[in-house]
Amino acid sequence: MPGSEKEITIYDIAKKLNVSAATVSRALQNHLRVNKNTKKMIVKAAEEMGYRSNSFASNLRRKNSNIIGVIVPRLNSSFTSDVIAGIEKVVNDNDYNLIISQSLETMKKEINNAKAMLNNRVDGLLVSLAYDTINVEHFEPFIKRRIPVIFFDRVVEHDHYPQIYIDNFKAAYEITGHLIEQGCTRIVHITANVLRNVYSERLRGYKAALEKHGIQFDESLLFINDLSANASAITAQEILKMNPLPDGLFCANDASAVSCIQVLKKAGIKIPGDIAVAGFNNDPVSCVIEPNLTTINYKGFEMGEVAANLLINHLVNKNDLQQTHSLILRSELIIRESSAREK
């Protein structure tokens, strides 16, 4: 490989045009004190010579990079795509750039992502926590430098970080109540690591709905997996071995519910007649599976918009973030054929 080209500096431009480096610097910053024609000439030369502004140094001066960072657990979910689309819209409208990284559900990688974002000098950070993150110390360098960090969806209680999430408790309470109204009394719940608020709150909502209707919580009906299609197919096989079979199934995401429906149908179980099924998220696949899936419409795009707006309002207008502790978004129960029994 040939040697790298030397980076063009303002001194190179100054030398070529026979002006001072200070003039070049001022011209490139569009300073009032530089004559208009000189400015034009300098900008033209800078472009031709391939000058790349020292964004780091100028960021230090300006104290901003116009870059927003996002750390998500995984990119391969419809919900995450929706959130990012919402963030992207707001970020673009405000002439910020977005850089994204994924923790792949591990705290270790989340720590590395945070370091990279800090070194890239993002102006602000939006984070949804990894599956196994047990503390958020790795975001403290941001607090120290007054770089705002906002948690969304998978959040933690923390004095310094605002949080944006839906009322997972209420959503799970409603969907479980709906299954009970369809006549279900033995409702399996499949969820993931209850270290994360989204799963612990859904479990709490499930339990509260059972209690409300006088049904005792049965530990043997609770399954914890990673909610992937593969893991849930295995759980569905375990469900098939239960005696008596459950008559309801509430999965903490749609991928899990879809996978279960496929296994259960193949085994001759009627959905919703034998087992009424509900998911969570309203992924597009919920309208492809037959029967279509009852679920919670989780407004990812809106969540992304709200998170990005909160962050950018803070950056632009210096709104006080500390005042916004939590922002809870609405969700809604969508009843489809997978749970709707004829009465």
- By CB under 8 A, name the binding residues for its own copies: 1-2, 4-5, 7, 50, 52-57, 60, 63, 67, 74-76, 78, 80-82, 84-85, 88, 92, 97-102, 104, 109, 112-113, 116, 118-120, 141, 144-146, 229, 258, 262, 284-285, 287-290, 314, 318, 320-321
Would you say 144 or 241 has its CB closer to its own copies? 144
If the CB atoms of residues 75 and 328 are measured against its own copies, the closer one turns out to be 75
Is the sign of the CA dihedral 301, 302, 307, 312 positive or negative?
A: positive
The secondary structure of 242-266 as a DSSP string is: -SSPPSEEEESSHHHHHHHHHHHHH
309 vs 89: CA distance, rounded Å: 10
Cβ-based nearer residue to its own copies, 15 or 145: 145
- Rounded to whole angstroms, the Cα distance separating 302 from 314 reads 18
CB closer to its own copies out of 14 and 258: 258
Shortest approach of its own copies to residue 295 CB, angstroms?
14
The minimum distance between CB 271 and its own copies, in angstroms, equals: 13
Considering the complex, what minimum distance in angstroms separates the CB of residue 267 from its own copies? 16
CB of 293 to its own copies, least distance (A): 10
Alpha carbons 1 and 153: distance in angstroms, whole number: 46
CA distance 223 to 229: 14
Whether residue 189 contacts residue 223, with contact meaning beta carbons closer than 8 Å, is answered with: yes
Sign of the alpha-carbon torsion through 76, 79, 82, 87: negative
Closest separation in Å from C-beta 61 to its own copies: 11
Nearer to its own copies, 240 or 285 (CB): 285
